[in-house]
Amino acid sequence: MKRPGVLRTLAVLVATALTATACGGGDGEGGGQSGGSSAPGVTATTVTIGSHQPLTGPAAPGYSANSAASKAYFDYINESGGINGRKIVYKVVDDVYNPTQTVDVVHRLVLQDKVFAIFNGLGTPTHTKVLDYLNAQRVPDLFVASGCGCWDQPKKNPYTFGWQPDYIREGKILGQFIKEKYADKKVAYFYQNDDFGQDGLKGLDKYVPASQVAARQSYQPGGTDVGAQAQAIAQSKADVVVLFTIPTYTALFRLAALKLNYKPQIIVSNVGSDPITLTGLLESYAKKGGTELEGNPLIQGIITNSYLPAPGAKDNTWTELFRKIHAKYIPNLPFNGNIIYGMSAAYTFAQALKAAGQNPTRKGLVDALENSKFTGPGLVPFAYSKDSHSGYTGAQIGRIKGTSVVVEGQPLVTDAGDGPIQPSTVQQPQAPANGVPTG
Amino acid sequence: MNLQTTNPQPKNARAHAPLDRGWAGVVLRMLRRHTLLRHTLLAVVAVVALAYLTGAVSPYRDLQIAHMAYIVCAAAGLTVLTGLGGQISLGHGAFMAIGAYTTALVLNHWAWPLAAVLLAAVTVTAVAGFIVGVAAARLHGPYLAGATLALAVGLPGLVSYEPVTGLLGGQNGLSVSPSPPPLALGETFPLERWQAWISCLCAVIVMWLLANLTHSRLGRSLPATRDDEIAAALSGIRVARVRIITSVVAAACAGLGGGLLAVVTTLAAPGAFPLTLSLQLVAAVVLGGLGSLAGAVWGSVVLVLVPNWASDPDASAHLPHNVASNLPALIFGTVLIVVTLLFPRGMQGGFRWVGRQVKRRLTERTG
Quick one: average pLDDT of A110-130? 92
- From chain A, the residues in CB contact with B308 under 8 A are 108
SS3 state of residue A390? coil
Looking at the complex, report in whole angstroms how far the Cα of residue A34 sits from the nearest Cα belonging to chain B.
18
The pLDDT score that the predictor gives to residue B336 is 87
Looking at the complex, report in whole angstroms how far the Cα of residue A111 sits from the nearest Cα belonging to chain B.
5
In this structure, what are the phi and psi dihedrals at residue A64, rounded to the nearest 5 degrees? -65, -15
Task: Answer whether A111 sits within 8 Å of B353, measured CB to CB.
Answer: no
The pLDDT score that the predictor gives to residue A35 is 43
In this structure, what are the phi and psi dihedrals at residue A413, rounded to the nearest 5 degrees? -125, 150
Of the candidate ranges B266-275, B280-289, B303-312, B314-323, the one whose mean pLDDT is the lowest: B314-323
pTM for this predicted structure? 0.82
Which residues, at least 6 apart from A187, have a Cβ–Cβ distance to it below 8 Å?
A178, A208, A212, A213, A214, A238, A239, A240, A241, A242
Cα(B263)–Cα(B255) distance, integer angstroms: 12
Interval B4-35: pLDDT, tens: 444 444 444 444 445 556 788 888 888 888 88
Average pLDDT of chain B?
86
Chain A CA closest to residue B349: A8
**Chain A with chain B: Cβ pairs closer than 8 A:** 92
Task: Answer whether A92 sits within 8 Å of B313, measured CB to CB.
Answer: yes
Task: Answer whether B324 sits within 8 Å of A94, measured CB to CB.
Answer: yes
Task: Answer whether A93 sits within 8 Å of B313, measured CB to CB.
Answer: yes
Which residues, at least 6 apart from B293, have a Cβ–Cβ distance to it below 8 Å?
B76, B79, B80, B207, B210, B211, B214
Cα B32-B37-B40 angle, rounded to 5 deg: 125
- From chain B, the residues in CB contact with A332 under 8 A are none
Q: How many other C-beta atoms lie within 10 A of the C-beta of residue A54?
A: 26
Q: pLDDT band for B1, please (50, 70, 90 cuts).
A: very low
The pLDDT score that the predictor gives to residue B160 is 75
Task: Answer whether B172 sits within 8 Å of A194, measured CB to CB.
Answer: yes
Chain A CA closest to residue B324: A94
Cα A19 to Cα A31, B307, B310: the distances in Å are 22, 14, 13
Interface predicted TM-score (ipTM) of this complex, two decimals: 0.76
Q: Testing the interface with A: which of B171, B331, B348 to mutate, by most A Cβ within 10 A?
A: B171
Task: Answer whether A111 sits within 8 Å of B343, measured CB to CB.
Answer: no
Chain B CA closest to residue A129: B175
Q: Is the dihedral of CA A295, A300, A304, A309 positive or negative?
A: positive
Chain B contact for A280 (CB, 8 A cutoff): no
Which residues between 309 and 328 in chain B have a beta carbon less than 8 angstroms from any beta carbon of chain A? 309, 311, 313-314, 321-322, 324-325
Report CA Rg, chain A: 23
pLDDT at residue B312 above 80? no
Task: Answer whether B322 sits within 8 Å of A125, measured CB to CB.
Answer: no
The pLDDT score that the predictor gives to residue B321 is 65
CA B101 to centroid of chain Cα atoms: 20
Chain B contact for A108 (CB, 8 A cutoff): yes
A193 vs B165, B343, B357: nearest CB: B165
Task: Answer whether A99 sits within 8 Å of B269, measured CB to CB.
Answer: yes
Domain residue limits, chain A: 2-26, 46-165+311-393, 168-306
Cα(A333)–Cα(A258) distance, integer angstroms: 28
pLDDT at residue A272 above 80? yes
Cα(A4)–Cα(A10) distance, integer angstroms: 10
Chain A CA closest to residue B316: A93
Q: pLDDT band for A3, please (50, 70, 90 cuts).
A: low
pLDDT at residue A374 above 60? yes
- From chain B, the residues in CB contact with A8 under 8 A are 342-343, 350, 353
Chain B contact for A107 (CB, 8 A cutoff): yes
Write the DSSP symbol of residue A115. -
Q: How many residues does this entry show for chain B?
A: 367
Quick one: average pLDDT of A404-426? 89
Which residues between 14 and 33 in chain A have a beta carbon less than 8 angstroms from any beta carbon of chain B? 22, 26-29
Interval B172-217: pLDDT, tens: 788 888 878 888 887 788 888 999 999 999 999 999 999 999 999 9
A168-306 is classed CATH 3.40.50.360: no
The pLDDT score that the predictor gives to residue B2 is 42
The pLDDT score that the predictor gives to residue A34 is 42
Contact (CB, 8 A) for A113 and A93: no
The pLDDT score that the predictor gives to residue A32 is 40
Chain B contact for A330 (CB, 8 A cutoff): no
B321 vs A94, A103, A132: nearest CB: A94
Interval A213-231: pLDDT, tens: 999 999 887 777 899 999 9
Which residues between 135 and 194 in chain A have a beta carbon less than 8 angstroms from any beta carbon of chain B? 136, 193-194
A111 vs B59, B175, B177: nearest CB: B59
Of the candidate ranges A222-226, A420-424, B119-123, B339-343, the one whose mean pLDDT is the lowest: A222-226
Quick one: average pLDDT of A343-363? 93
Interval A87-114: pLDDT, tens: 999 999 888 888 888 998 999 999 988 9
Looking at the complex, report in whole angstroms how far the Cα of residue A97 sits from the nearest Cα belonging to chain B.
9
Chain B contact for A7 (CB, 8 A cutoff): yes
A46-165+311-393 and A168-306 share one fold: yes
- From chain A, the residues in CB contact with B350 under 8 A are 8, 11-12
Cα(B299)–Cα(B283) distance, integer angstroms: 8
Task: Answer whether B342 sits within 8 Å of A4, measured CB to CB.
Answer: yes
Helices B92-110 + B275-288 axis angle, to 10: 120
Of the candidates B251, B26, B45, B14, the residue with the CA atom closest to the CA atom of residue B128: B251
Looking at the complex, report in whole angstroms how far the Cα of residue B220 sits from the nearest Cα belonging to chain A.
31
Q: Is the dihedral of CA B47, B51, B56, B60 positive or negative?
A: positive
B171 vs A8, A28, A222: nearest CB: A222
Chain B contact for A101 (CB, 8 A cutoff): yes
Buried/exposed code over A227-250 (b: 16+ C-beta within 10 A; e: otherwise): eebbbebbebebebbbbbbbbbbb
Q: Testing the interface with A: which of B303, B311, B312 to mutate, by most A Cβ within 10 A?
A: B312
- Architecture of domain A46-165+311-393 in this structure: 3-Layer(aba) Sandwich (3.40)
| Residue % of chain A over a pLDDT of 90 | 63
Long-range CB pairs of B298-301 (<8 Å, 24+ gap) are: B298/B346, B298/B347, B298/B348, B298/B351, B299/B75, B299/B346, B299/B347, B300/B68, B300/B69, B300/B71, B300/B72, B300/B75, B301/B68
- From chain B, the residues in CB contact with A94 under 8 A are 321, 324-325
A132 vs B177, B309, B343: nearest CB: B177
Cα(B304)–Cα(B213) distance, integer angstroms: 27
Chain A CA closest to residue B342: A8
Task: Answer whether A29 sits within 8 Å of B58, measured CB to CB.
Answer: yes
Q: Testing the interface with B: which of A55, A66, A104, A124 to mutate, by most B Cβ within 10 A?
A: A104
Looking at the complex, report in whole angstroms how far the Cα of residue B164 sits from the nearest Cα belonging to chain A.
13
Amino acid letter, A94: D
Cα(A39)–Cα(A275) distance, integer angstroms: 41
Looking at the complex, report in whole angstroms how far the Cα of residue B122 sits from the nearest Cα belonging to chain A.
22
Torsion of CA B199, B203, B204, B208, to 10 degrees: 160
- From chain B, the residues in CB contact with A224 under 8 A are none
Chain B CA closest to residue A55: B321
Chain B CA closest to residue A27: B58
